Amino acid sequence: MPAKKEEVKISVGWYFIWIALIGMLTLFSVLMIWYGLKKGNVEDTNSLFKVIAGVMGIGIAVKTSMDLVKAIRGIKGPKWRYMTLVKCVKCNFKSEREFREGEYVGKKWDKPCPACGAPMIIESIYAKPPEERRSLV
């Protein structure tokens, strides 16, 4: 689809601009703090203002990059895993495996129970949510 390629290009450009802006802001903020804390003019109110502006700038940069990460993750989408639970009809042996197309609940499993040799059926099919990532963002 030619239209699709175009769309992706536009959004890649957009994210590039975004990252560039964050970089510029961070650089500017660091410079501000550095000038503000430079020896000789620490007493000055003007330098205090510079430090405050720099800290605020870094704060905004952090917030924006968090938004960016969120946006990118939103596009990729969380990866769900689809599982098939097979159960032995006699001994309650259960086994969970990756879902494959063509399987449905109630279908006879093609292999017998490894524990007792009785037939097995698909007991249920469900989606497992992606592992929660415990990080700052």
Partner 1 sequence: MVDFSAVMSMLAMLQQNTDDWFSWMVFMLFMVILNFYAGKLQIQVWMGQIGRALDQLNRFRLEAEREFVETASKYGKEKEKIKKALERFIGFFMMLPETIDPAGAVLKLDHIVRNREDRLNFFIKEVAPKSDDVALANLRDLLESTIALDFIFRVVRHYFVLGKKTQNMIYIAQIQMLLPEIMRMARAYRMAAEASKRGLPMGDGIGPLVALRLIGNSEVIDFGENVVGAELDIEGRRVLVLKAKGPGGEIGRPGEALKRIIESRAGNVSRIMMIDAAMKLEGEKTGEIAEGVGAAIGGIGVEKWKIEEVATKYGIPLDAFIIKEDFAEAVAAMTKEIASTANEVANRVREAILSRTSEGDFVIVVGVGNSAGIGNRLEVPGIAS
Give the binding site for partner 1 (CB under 8 A). Answer: 1, 3-4, 7-8, 10-11, 14, 71, 74-75, 77, 80, 82-83, 89-90, 99, 101-108, 119, 121-122, 124-129
Alpha carbon of residue 121 to chain centroid: 35
| 93 binds, options Zn ion, partner 1, none, Cβ within 5 to 8 A by partner type | Zn ion
User: Counting beta carbons within 10 angstroms of the beta carbon of residue 74, is it exposed (0 to 12), middle (13 to 18) or buried (19 or more)?
Assistant: exposed
Smallest gap from Cβ 114 to Zn ion, in A, equals 8
- From 45-53, 64-72, 80-88, 98-106, give the range in contact with Zn ion by CB under 5 A: 80-88
The token pair that represents 137 in the structure block? 């963002």
91 counts as binding Zn ion under rule CB under 5 A: yes
Residue 93 within binding range of Zn ion, rule CB under 5 A:
yes
Smallest gap, in angstroms, from Cβ of residue 94 to Zn ion?
A: 10
CB within 8 A of 83, min separation 6: which ones?
96, 97, 98, 99, 125, 126, 127, 128
Maximum alpha-carbon separation in the chain? 86
